[in-house]
Amino acid sequence: MPSGLVQTFRAFAHNNGWANHRLLTACANLSQAEFEAERKSFFPSLQATLNHLYYVDLFYIDALEGGWLGPKAWANQIPFPDVAGLKPAQAAMDRRLIAHCDALTPEKLDETVRINRDTRVQNERRDRLLMHLFQHQIHHRGQAHAMLSGTSVAPPQLDEFFATEEAPLRASEFAELGWTEATIWRGE
């Protein structure tokens, strides 16, 4: 069983994927007009906010994997105009992040990741970059959650972090994602 910081990053990656799944599943019940509607937040709509999460994930996950995509990741600010396209794309991105975290070792956490910023190269420790990515996701998912509360669709609970006694409550969603509790906690 993985332990320590490696396990923490693995659990955060799975929790990130689960939260994205819950939020996008709820958003799938919106009309296209509600998804695109202008709202008060950092980005002006659920569509813009959730697409931002996707392309920033693409930017950082590519760098974590050793890629050099850089700012091309956000050349198209709305790569997925509807939830039907965004949900599977985000799920694929979440699987990449989980795979990356599943392959971590304490030594890899200390490695430097080179990030193509177009005009410069940012050098960042892998553990710090992962913490930044998770915080970015949490921040903007919170904004999307607040925007969703102003629609006809109730926002899902996103403030859970795998409480042991609540495992039965998430079992069906884990099954949709192809996970079990053992996937996260024992690496099975």
**Averaged confidence pLDDT in the chain:** 95
Write out pLDDT tens, residues 50-96.
999 999 999 999 999 999 999 999 999 999 999 999 999 999 999 99
- CATH number reported for the structural domain that contains residue 81 in this entry: 1.20.120.450
DSSP structure string for the chain = ---HHHHHHHHHHHHHHHHHHHHHHHHTTS-HHHHH---SSSSSSHHHHHHHHHHHHHHHHHHHTT---GGGGGSSS-S-SSHHHHHHHHHHHHHHHHHHHHT--HHHHHSEEEEE-SSSEEEEEHHHHHHHHHHHHHHHHHHHHHHHTTSSSPPPP------GGGHHHHHHHHHHHT--HHHHHT--
Number of domains in the chain: 1
Domain of 9, in residue numbers: 4-185
What is the rounded CA–CA span in Å between residue 131 and residue 102?
15
pTM: 0.95
What is the pLDDT, as a whole number, of residue 186? 81
Closest CA to 87 of 42, 118, 115, 50: 50
